[in-house]
Amino acid sequence: MYEARAVFILQSHSKYLFDEAIELDGIRLESKDGKIYGEVIVQVEKVDPNLIVEKAFEKANEIALLLTLLFGESFIVEDVVPGSIVAVKKKEDAVKIEIYESIRLLIKASLSIEKRLSKEKLGRIKSELKELLGKLSKPERGGDILRAINWWRKGNLEEDGVDKFLDYYIDSIRNISLCNRL
């Protein structure tokens, strides 16, 4: 089993500036130049950058959905970059440590609104994220709620009027379905 580090970038219409990093359940979030950067550790069976990106994307997308819910503004995963991969293999008389490194460049420009978040606000966000993660980890409704938020987020980011309508319509149907099951 290998332990791999990955870095991800979350995108929204606004820029967010944190006074300090947020660390929660093995995920670290911080802001740089108005973007939210995250770092996550994932377990993989083999040294495969695609597998690392896939597992890291799942975690990053869950955080993006939770931030969408908290801020009422759509967040999407802009990029996921695999970092170092470490494997510790123990034998009877020796320990072998394997370290793999992955590097990739990303160049992108954008224009957005900047939002500064104080330490107090970050503390509230951290506690709300922890509470939401706890609620959404319950199998009976967590996946359905995240799916509904996902459709709202798609509609919020969509520029085409018809697609935006369809995304919001699907979100409305999901919400009605959720309410009927409560």
Helix axes 142-157, 119-136, angle to 10 degrees: 130
Pairing status of strand 113-117 against strand 14-18:
parallel
In the prediction, which pLDDT does 106 show?
46
Domain boundaries, the chain: 2-137, 138-182
Distance CA 3, CA 136 (A): 25
Q: What is the pLDDT along the chain (182 residues), one digit of tens a residue?
A: 778 888 899 988 888 888 999 998 889 999 998 889 999 988 888 877 788 888 889 999 999 988 988 888 889 898 888 877 777 667 777 777 777 666 554 445 455 566 778 888 888 888 888 888 777 777 666 777 778 888 888 888 888 888 888 888 888 877 777 666 65
Distance CA 104, CA 58 (A): 20
Taking Cα atoms as reference points, which of 139, 171, 175 lies closest to residue 74? 171
pTM exceeds cut of 0.85: no
In the prediction, which pLDDT does 10 show?
92
In the prediction, which pLDDT does 160 show?
84
In the prediction, which pLDDT does 181 show?
61
Give φ, ψ of 87 to 5 degrees: -130, 130
Rg over alpha carbons for the chain, rounded to the nearest Å, is 19
